[in-house]
């Protein structure tokens, strides 16, 4: 029940009307008996500063940040956590000890989901990341700090891949290289991660790489969550590979944000169920 004591949490993005976070977050807050409500706000870049000042004035506990504000939000905060600084983007803002601090839970959320669903030993994985954008940076940072020995960044624009590989090479335990033609590297990889939007609804028949490059024994991971099982994952499964879909990352990055805000256990299974039901409703 919403009362005069109910606190605020939310999402800033543009657009924001497509977000499924309110359904997932409010279901979790209700089960946790937490006195907060989670709302989505469509905020254009021109009024981002005013929106942030408004949330601060209204004493929000914190909020999530999505496209196109993940970088520009930083100038309106008191500080940025190491993960967000290294990734170069903020997706969660937390009020603590009188300060507003930006965090990034994307990489953490990805790793938590990957480990839960695959139980793989990251210290022995040869990884190919398809794409070199913000999602690739978050996943690459998480894998490098977890001790993955080799990461190959495959991107059509080699300069962009080079910059990300150079950044990831700062962690001495990880060899990071950049390429544009990744056929041989994909065939040799233990883990292939698609961080691009290829295969996302409604272009569900597209794949970022040919199915013939995949094989039994690999783990193929796709950050796209709509559809849950992309054309890439369907092809990988037919080849005998283990698959990992993007829905888990979406749930765990949200769960990590809730943990930062409330410092208490989060009902992750409920969040998964609500998100799955919400996405299924989209297709009806």
Q: What is the pLDDT of residue 25?
A: 98
Q: How far apart are CA 240 and CA 185, in angstroms?
A: 18
Q: Which residues of the chain have pLDDT under 70?
A: 281-284
- pLDDT of 8: 97
Contact 134, 164 (CB under 8 A): no
Q: Which two tokens stand for residue 182?
A: 């990744």
Tokens of 160: 């962009």
DSSP three-state, residue 7? strand
Q: Binding site for NADP(+): residue ranges?
A: 82, 131-135, 155-160, 223, 246
pTM: 0.91
Q: Which residues are annotated as a binding site for shikimate?
A: 19-21, 66, 91, 106, 225, 253
| pLDDT of the residue at 281 | 67
C-alpha–C-alpha distance, residues 122 and 147, integer Å: 7
Two tokens, residue 139: 């996943």
Residue 48 token pair = 């981002």
DSSP H stretches of helix in the chain: 21-31, 48-57, 82-87, 106-118, 134-145, 158-168, 183-188, 231-238, 247-262, 268-282
Q: Return the closest-CA partner of residue 168 out of 133, 214, 137, 134.
A: 137
Sign of CA dihedral 133, 90, 244, 20: negative
How far apart (Å, rounded) are the C-alpha atoms in residues 93 and 64? 6
Q: What is the pLDDT of residue 36?
A: 98
pLDDT at 284: 37
| Ordered domains of the chain (ranges, CATH) | 7-104+249-282 (3.40.50.10860), 107-245 (3.40.50.720)
Q: Residue positions in the annotated binding site?
A: 19-21, 66, 82, 91, 106, 131-135, 155-160, 223, 225, 246, 253
Give the tens place of pLDDT for each residue, 23-82: 999 999 999 999 999 999 999 999 999 999 999 999 999 999 999 999 999 999 999 999
Is 70 catalytic? The answer is yes
Residue found by looking up tokens 């961080």 in the block = 195
Q: What's the CA gap between 221 and 239, in Å, rounded? A: 14
Question: How confident is the model at residue 282, as a pLDDT?
Answer: 55
Residue-level pLDDT at 1: 82
Chain-centre distance of CA 91, in angstroms?
A: 9
How confident is the model at residue 279, as a pLDDT? 83
How many residues are recorded in the chain? 284
> What is the distance between the alpha carbons of residues 189 and 92, in angstroms, rounded to a whole number?
32
């Amino acid at each position: 029940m919403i009362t005069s004591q109910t606190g605020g949490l939310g999402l800033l993005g543009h657009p924001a009307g497509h977000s499924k976070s309110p359904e997932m977050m409010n279901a979790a807050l209700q089960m946790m008996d937490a006195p907060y409500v989670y709302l989505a706000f469509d905020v254009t870049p021109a009024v981002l500063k005013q929106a942030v000042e408004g949330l601060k004035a209204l004493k929000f506990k914190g909020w999530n940040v999505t496209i196109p504000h993940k970088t520009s939000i930083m100038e309106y905060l008191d500080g940025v956590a190491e993960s967000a600084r290294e990734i170069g983007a903020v997706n969660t803002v937390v009020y603590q000890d009188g300060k507003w601090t930006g965090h990034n839970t994307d990489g953490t959320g990805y790793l938590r989901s990957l480990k839960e669903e695959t139980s793989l030993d990251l210290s022995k994985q040869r990884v190919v990341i398809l794409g070199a954008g913000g999602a690739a940076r978050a996943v690459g940072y998480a894998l490098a700090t977890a001790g993955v020995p080799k990461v190959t960044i495959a991107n059509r624009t080699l300069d962009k891949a080079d910059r990300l590989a150079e950044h990831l090479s700062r962690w001495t335990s990880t060899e990071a290289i950049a390429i544009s033609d990744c056929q041989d590297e994909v065939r040799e990889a233990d883990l292939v991660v698609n961080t691009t939007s290829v295969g996302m609804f409604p272009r569900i028949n597209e794949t970022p790489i040919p199915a013939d490059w995949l094989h039994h024994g690999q783990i193929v991971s796709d950050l796209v969550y709509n559809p849950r099982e992309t054309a890439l994952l369907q092809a990988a499964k037919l080849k005998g590979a283990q698959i990992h879909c993007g829905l888990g990352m979406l749930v765990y990055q949200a769960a990590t944000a809730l943990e930062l805000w409330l410092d208490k256990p989060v009902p992750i299974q409920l969040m998964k169920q609500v998100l799955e039901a919400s996405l299924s409703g989209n297709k009806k």
